[in-house]
A and B are shown apart, each in its own frame.
Chain A
Amino acid sequence: MKDFAALYAALDQSTRTTVKLAALESYFRSAPDADRLWCAALFSGRRPRRAITTTRLRDWAAERAGLPLWLFEDSYAVVGDLAETIALVLPAPATRHDQGLAGWMACLRGLSGADEATRKAQILAAWDGMAPLERLVFNKLLTGGFRVGVSRRLMTRALAAATERDEVEIAHRLMGDWTPETTTWAALIDTHDPADSLSRPYPFCLAYGLEGVPEALGAPGDWLAEWKWDGIRGQVIARGGQIFIWSRGEELITDRFPELARLRDLLPEGTVIDGEILAHDGAAPLPFAALQKRITRKSVPKSLLREAPATLMAYDLLEEAGRDLRGLPFTERRARLDALVSALPEGTPLRPSPAIPFATWDALAATRATARDHRAEGLMLKCRSGRYHAGRKKGFWWKWKLDPLTLDAVMIYAQAGHGRRANLYTDFTFAVRDGAAFVPFTRAYSGLTDAEFRQITAWVRRNTVERFGPVRQVRPEQVFEIAFEGIQASPRHKSGVALRFPRMARWRQDKPATEIDTLDTLRALLAHHG
């Protein structure tokens, strides 16, 4: 654990990519197989579930530290991170454990079946043998909150460098539903062909946002334009007589979309399609809110299947008759996709995302302006000659999103953030005006710089009207421009609307609260875009 904790500290301390890369590579070179397998799992989002309630952890930590619980809680409020608070208040270790990461993960796994007395004894024994940094990492794993500022891509690069393998191949090997309990380092990294695993998806090709004008991309004829759909990016795999549907977050979501599972009988053996899962009424996509109801459900009631039927809007063909097509030019893959789809029977919940013909960039810009009418977020531009890349690669796929909708609103509640944002007020509730009253309609917590968050935090402290637990009601004075991608009617919200991706676009220190937008403006936006 010492080595993994040191890795965590090195990654945590630096903002430089080269330093992080070197630290990860060095760990992957030197750690035992079981430990580096867990490291790859953790940094690719394969976090264990929380093994113990945080209430118990607080009780036990306070007891071990000889502190009343209220003092522990007050300390937690200042530190802003439970795992860290526990690590800091516990007495200095009496001994030092010499167990690796994999050993501790096995210990955590064992906890879930044990009775409470055993759990407590094991946790206290673990804490007693760790320095504060190791405790912090251990607690993060214990509470399921293990996150660190390292992208999966960076980890993949480090792993490829350490094993002297191709990065794209390593990225492919890391895909799918493996965990360190179901595989070994040798099986995952060294031996088997990644394609051996029937269910294993390909790494998704991702787009960069287009900044500036599309003219910079060169001749319009080199590019294919499609709508940028607002659904769930997914990969449908038909192999070995089975169907597997993966989300971009590498979650297997086959069971949530039984209508797509029917594709098992329709797609030829050895087919892999990249696309967007949308709720679709047969004529047009439904608003994202319709699909949202299905995302969280593991099983889908019949009424919802009727209300929000799912369709795969196909973007790309990655595998045909068991052959990896990713190296072919996009036009070639797209032609094969169209041929494959046209051979499917009527009523198949699969359609190719239509190509949008355009002759000039100006004409395309005019089309883009109508994206909301098509329930799209904007356009995708794909280089016709490009291969299917793993992850983001500049110059091949661009997303050209619509400018967001905006409203000027006033902050009425503020709440402190956690972790890096502990002690800073970062989560705000915003209101529009309705006569003399303020009607809350959204929350937002991103879009400001650290310096702005510090400034607004100082303001919140001085201008609190009332406190409700961690929430402070503030004087309705600070105006922000709120940007969002969409707006929907929502009976669950007091204002009657729900926004998509709300964030703070600007702090309007120039604008008084008397000049913010009104509930009528909000309703007009809903009528027009909802």
Chain B
Amino acid sequence: MVLTLTPNGLYCPSGDFHIDPWRPVARALITHGHTDHARGGHGAYLATDIAGPVMRHRLGAITLDTIRYGEMRRIGGANVSFHPAGHVPGSAQIRVEVAGEVWVVSGDYKLEHDPLSTPFEPVRCHHFVTECTFGLPVFDWPDPEDVAREINGWWAANAAEGRFSLLGAYALGKAQRVLAILDPGIAPILTHGAIEATNAVLRAQGFSLPETQHVTQATDLRAMRGALVMAPPGALAGPWARRFRPASSALASGWMRLRGVRRRRAADRGFVISDHADWAGLNRAIAATGAGTVHVTHGYTEVFARWLASQGYDARVLRTEFTGESLEEEEA
């Protein structure tokens, strides 16, 4: 086996390394910087050069080696390379080849283009490890340009009536992707500390983001009415958000495709925008790998594996501790 599942995570015996392990290991190859994939405590890390700064920012002083997309490394008996996953800036699918057998661990991925992430590239393989956060046919993402128009339209209408627009989005990836499609001509853009910190890291790397202002005690909110306020979803319900009055609230998430979820979250609006592949995207990505065996990780695993089996794949459920795009506090 090129890769096997151990209590620590996905392990490559030939190269003696783990991919996105959830317990401390000696050597970890990391697909991207979200907390359920990049955890602290490993002896040595390998990630893409683009993902590196955010990982350092989040994990502190780690022993981190970086690699460029497409660059080949020999680790023990394995040939390893990283390929764009399109999920967030710097996110990668990790290709591992041992004695001619190729496995690809996709981490989290999406096929849609966004203004910041390097677009997903299919990688031919024998075994493909895929997430299926949105692995049901009800998940079908709308055209991102339509969503951008919806968000800016909502913001402009709020601004015209002197309301704040409170928008919940994950601090790494989603927030910046949404920032990049906002129309800064409408009003100022304010940010929660968690998002501003990630913005600073990405700006320092050369990513172009619109001007944002970090909200502090000193910020004069009376002068800011009509502003868009971007915060992690968890902060919207808490005391931090109460200072913005009057306000309309919204969440940006793939889950907003479901009316029940949207209503339960008690946000005024839900924008369907996800950093994960939708149903058609998952199926397209899997087909493009040419893989005969598909290992299904986090999401609707049983249902999705059954579907893949009915389509002729050797489909297996792989029990990992990844969480995917959750609506709760932690991000993915």
Contact = CB atoms under 8 A, between A and B. Distances in A.
A265 to B, nearest CB: 52
Interface in A75-113: 75, 78-81, 84-85, 88-89
Contacts of B303: 71, 74
Contacts of B306: 70-71
Contacts of A88: 137-140, 257
Contact of B263 (A12, A67, A74, A89): A12
Given A12-B259, A423-B260, A75 B268 contact: no
B227 to A, nearest CB: 20
Contact of A78 (B138, B259, B264, B269): B138
B258 interface: yes
B263 A78 contact: no
B207 interface: no
Interface stretch (A173-181, A340-348, A369-377, A414-422): A414-422
B215 interface: no
A15 B259 CA distance: 14
Interface in A114-132: none
A190 interface: no
A424 B266 CA distance: 15
A65 B260 contact: no
A421 B138 contact: no
A12 B256 CA distance: 13
A75 B266 contact: no
B137 A89 contact: yes
A420 B137 contact: no
B313 interface: no
A75 B264 contact: no
B288 interface: no
A65 B307 CA distance: 14
A14 interface: yes
B260 A89 contact: no
A88 B257 CA distance: 9
B217 interface: no
Contacts of B140: 88
A71 B264 contact: no
A74 B62 CA distance: 43
B137 A65 contact: yes
A13 interface: yes
Question: Which of the four size classes fits the interface of chain A?
Answer: 20 to 34
B146 to A, nearest CB: 11
A525 to B, nearest CB: 35
A422 B136 CA distance: 16
B300 interface: yes
B260 A450 contact: no
Of residues B140, B263, B307, B310, which shows the largest number of chain A Cβ atoms within 10 Å of its Cβ?
B263
Contact of A89 (B138, B264, B300): B138
Question: Which of the four size classes fits the interface of chain B?
Answer: 20 to 34
Contacts of A85: 138
B258 A79 contact: yes
A71 B307 contact: yes
Interface of A is mostly: helix
A301 interface: no
Interface in A129-151: 136
Interface string B239-268: 000000000000000000111110110101
Nearest to A66: B137
Given A74-B136, A78-B136, A85-B138, A14 B268 contact: yes
Given A12-B259, A419-B260, A420-B260, A79 B138 contact: yes
A422 B260 contact: yes
A68 interface: yes
Contacts of A424: 264
Nearest to B137: A89
Nearest to B136: A75
A14 B163 CA distance: 15
A324 to B, nearest CB: 42
Given A74-B136, A78-B136, A421 B268 contact: no
Interface in A34-92: 65, 67-68, 70-72, 74-75, 78-81, 84-85, 88-89
Interface in A400-424: 419-424
Contacts of B259: 12, 81, 84, 136
Nearest to A450: B264
A94 to B, nearest CB: 16
B268 A79 contact: no
B7 to A, nearest CB: 20
A457 to B, nearest CB: 11
Contacts of B260: 79-81, 84, 419-423
B321 to A, nearest CB: 15
Contacts of A79: 138, 258, 260
Contacts of B266: 15, 450
Nearest to A419: B260
A15 B258 CA distance: 17
A88 to B, nearest CB: 4
Interface in B296-319: 300, 303, 306-307, 310
A79 B256 CA distance: 11
B263 A75 contact: no
A450 B258 CA distance: 17
A79 B137 CA distance: 11
Contacts of A71: 136-137, 303, 306-307
Nearest to B263: A420
Interface in A299-323: none
A147 to B, nearest CB: 13
Contacts of A80: 260
B114 to A, nearest CB: 22
Contacts of B139: 88
Interface of A: 12-15, 65, 67-68, 70-72, 74-75, 78-81, 84-85, 88-89, 136, 419-424, 450
**4 smallest beta-carbon distances between A and B, as pairs:** A88-B138, A422-B260, A420-B263, A75-B136
19 contacts: A13-B268, A13-B269, A14-B268, A65-B137, A68-B307, A71-B136, A71-B137, A71-B303, A74-B136, A74-B303, A75-B136, A75-B138, A81-B259, A84-B258, A89-B137, A89-B138, A420-B264, A423-B260, A423-B261
Given A13-B269, A70-B306, A71-B136, 6 more contacts: A15-B266, A68-B307, A74-B303, A75-B138, A79-B258, A80-B260
